[in-house]
Amino acid sequence: MSVFAHPEFDHHEAVVYCHDARSGLRGIIAVHDTHLGKALGGCRMWPYPGEAEALTDVLRLARGMTYKAALADLPQGGGKSVIIGDPRADKTPDLIRAMGRAIDRLGGVYVVAEDSGTSVQDMRLMAEVTSHVGGLADAAAQAAGRTGDPSPATAFGVFVGIQAAVRFQLGREDLSGVRVAVQGLGNVGYRLCRHLSEAGARLWVTDLYAPAVERCVRQFNATAVGMDQIAALDVDVYAPCALGAVLNDRTIPQIRARVVAGAANNQLSEPRHDRALQERGILYAPDYCINAGGIIDIYYEGPDYDAAVVDRHLRRIGTTLTAIFERARDQGRPTGEIADRMAEERFRPS
């Protein structure tokens, strides 16, 4: 299938395939929209079964970044990149630098940052061969304890979003005793569990990586469950924090939570699943709104970084979500549809 005929193609401005024989790099860069500014988006490394799956993911992720930046009220566009490979087995410094050189050839229209399967250290390796890298703390920031890792900001933004969703849907002003099922315990999921635990929430957790589950059980008194059980638990909030497409024809009928609010990108398998959640009375916090904390933090990086300013911007995620929830309720439309319209009002050229 050609890129133009792909069901996830949404007038992307550029889709670039990257290959380096020496390092074994096979990657794709997608730039969705740059009307508001340069396209910013992470580089994901994942053992995709093949090129088709990688293309689907990068097209969806790049589009999501455009909407995420617009709804977060940032002067940025949306892009994303993926590397086909297992980050635990296939990643090498030469491969990461090769991806950096591929990004550099685009001349700055796309700015890369870390994502699933890549790290701040990987971004430093890319920065050896390109200046178009975000999410890197300068010397002053490192001295203040910042690493450039956007995960803490992403996790805090999701926590603020869950607070807003619980307030709207459950009428609760606090999270004490609120039951939350967290799927995915990576950098963001783990930190989200910490925030939730400190707020008094009760946790059920799952991840493919057993030590991550064990850590949350030990540190947060969480209950471990299987990956095939997490969506169907009798809880108040289901928080997907791993890969996308977890809200689909199979899982939605099983969901017993009244709120779906998590850090994963592209949680809806298809756009129609937005309405399927609404019809079941489940409040969905649109993923690209609730998980925008990372790009907000990256936007403010630099010598003038002000943690208080960033904190205020992160807390606006809850305000934006509440506006989406209210507009969806008043118009009888799904929350994801409302979020899309609000974002498009900001980035579509008049």
Contact, 52 vs 97, CB < 8 A? no
CA nearest neighbour of 229 among 213, 218, 220, 219: 213
Would residue 80 show up in a list of annotated catalytic residues for this protein? yes
What secondary structure does DSSP assign to 288-345, as a single string? HHHTTHHHHHHHT-STT--HHHHHHHHHHHHHHHHHHHHHHHHHT--HHHHHHHHHHH
What secondary structure does DSSP assign to 52-98, as a single string? HHHHHHHHHHHHHHHHHHHHTT-S-EEEEEEEES-TTTT--HHHHHH
| Rounded Cα distance, 136 and 99, in Å | 17
C-alpha 206, offset from chain centre? 18
State the CB neighbour count (10 A cutoff) for residue 290: 33
Contact, 190 vs 222, CB < 8 A? no
Q: Which is catalytic among the residues 38, 68, 80, 91? A: 80
C-alpha 248, offset from chain centre? 18
Residues with active-site annotation: 80
